């Protein structure tokens, strides 16, 4: 007698066109997930998908509520449910102190990093409440900056601190529906955003100097996300911190 095989789990990955999002999506596909790839650049999303029959490419700007609703509707139409959301889309924002940043730049950073994450989480929670069986897991991509900021990163740092509040609120409010939420804070994984702040060539330190900092492969960061996603529903992984060995995080400054 053949035992029916469980349906593949369904994940939504935002910011899937590059960096951590791309690697997480590829590892999830390799692990048997069905994965919706969301991001603003369709060509890059298709590169991530690499022709996989289990990948669904959905161009989406997470700052636009209609785009977010269309993303989750496409996933429901394709696969009927959402088991995991990796809330990953984000920008580093301008290099500036609080007295220097323009309101336009502040609002743009908050719109992607915080409001976009809220919109995606809201759509995911609505889906997870309505589906059968009920429940799911949300993983928010925070940052080491959710714990300790770099100099001149006020907008980015504030949004990542706020992400922690979003994570805890979702975890609390989701308890009665089988919805868990955790946050992964990654430090110095080798992605393009690290090049923008000069980690490999000299990142600005608290004393005003610049220092070449260690980095670690993005595949290893993605494995940590996959671990969180693949935990049984009986377990909630609230917080994971993964950094390059030796980076100036403990004892910054």
Is residue 221 predicted with pLDDT exceeding 70?
yes
Whether 66 contacts 74, CB under 8 Å = no
Is residue 5 predicted with pLDDT exceeding 90?
no
Q: Report d(CA 137, CA 21) in Å as an integer.
A: 16
Is residue 106 predicted with pLDDT exceeding 90?
yes
Tell me: the pLDDT tens digits for 59-77? 999 999 999 999 999 999 9
Q: Where are the alpha helices (H) located in the chain, listed in sequence order?
A: 19-30, 42-49, 65-79, 103-110, 116-130, 154-173, 192-196, 218-230
Closest to 35 in 3D by CA, of 60, 59, 52: 52
Q: Which is more confidently placed, 151 or 183? A: 183
pLDDT-wise least confident of 36-40, 43-47, 190-194, 219-223: 190-194
The pLDDT value given to residue 253: 53
Is residue 4 predicted with pLDDT exceeding 60?
no
Is residue 1 predicted with pLDDT exceeding 60?
no
Other CB atoms within a 10 A radius of the CB of residue 233 amount to 13
The pLDDT value given to residue 78: 97
Model confidence at 140, pLDDT cuts 50, 70, 90, reads: very high
* Catalytic residue chosen out of the listed positions 156, 158, 187, 244: 156
Average pLDDT, the chain: 92
Model confidence at 250, pLDDT cuts 50, 70, 90, reads: confident
Active site residue 33: no
Per cent of the chain over pLDDT 90 is 80
Q: Which is more confidently placed, 6 or 28? A: 28
Tell me: the pLDDT tens digits for 178-214? 999 999 999 888 877 666 655 667 888 888 888 888 8
Spatial CB neighbours of 63, under 8 Å, sequence gap ≥ 6: 111, 112, 115, 116, 119
Q: What are phi and psi of 22, to 5 degrees?
A: -60, -45
The pLDDT value given to residue 199: 67
What value does the mean pLDDT take over residues 95-109?
A: 96
Q: Report d(CA 137, CA 7) in Å as an integer.
A: 17
The pLDDT value given to residue 227: 97
The pLDDT value given to residue 214: 86
Whether 225 contacts 24, CB under 8 Å = yes
Handedness of CA 142, 147, 148, 153 (dihedral sign): positive
Q: Report d(CA 24, CA 241) in Å as an integer.
A: 16
What value does the mean pLDDT take over residues 38-66?
A: 98
Other CB atoms within a 10 A radius of the CB of residue 52 amount to 16
Q: Report d(CA 252, CA 38) in Å as an integer.
A: 34
Other CB atoms within a 10 A radius of the CB of residue 102 amount to 10
């Amino acid at each position: 007698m053949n035992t029916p095989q469980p349906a593949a789990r369904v994940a939504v990955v935002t910011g899937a066109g590059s960096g951590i999002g791309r690697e997480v999506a590829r590892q999830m596909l390799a692990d048997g997930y069905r994965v919706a790839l969301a991001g603003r650049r369709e060509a890059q999303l298709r590169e991530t998908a690499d022709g996989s029959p289990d990948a669904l490419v959905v161009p989406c700007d997470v700052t636009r509520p209609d785009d977010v609703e269309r993303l989750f509707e496409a996933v429901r139409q394709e696969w009927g449910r959402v088991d995991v959301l990796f809330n990953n889309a984000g920008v580093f924002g301008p290099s500036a102190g609080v007295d220097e940043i323009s309101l336009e730049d502040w609002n743009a950073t908050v719109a992607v990093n915080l409001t976009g994450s809220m919109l995606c989480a809201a759509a995911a929670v609505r889906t997870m409440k309505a589906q059968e069986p009920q429940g799911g897991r949300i993983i928010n991509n925070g940052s080491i900056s959710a714990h300790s900021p770099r100099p001149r990163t006020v907008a980015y740092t504030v949004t990542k601190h706020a992400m922690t509040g979003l994570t805890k609120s979702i975890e609390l409010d989701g308890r009665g529906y089988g919805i868990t939420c955790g946050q992964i804070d990654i430090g110095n994984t080798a992605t393009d955003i690290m090049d923008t702040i000069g980690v490999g060539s000299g990142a600005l330190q608290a004393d005003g100097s610049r220092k070449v900092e260690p980095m670690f492969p993005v595949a290893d960061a993605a494995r940590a996300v996959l671990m969180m996603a693949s935990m049984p529903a009986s377990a909630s992984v609230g917080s994971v911190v993964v950094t390059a060995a030796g980076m100036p995080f403990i004892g910054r400054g």
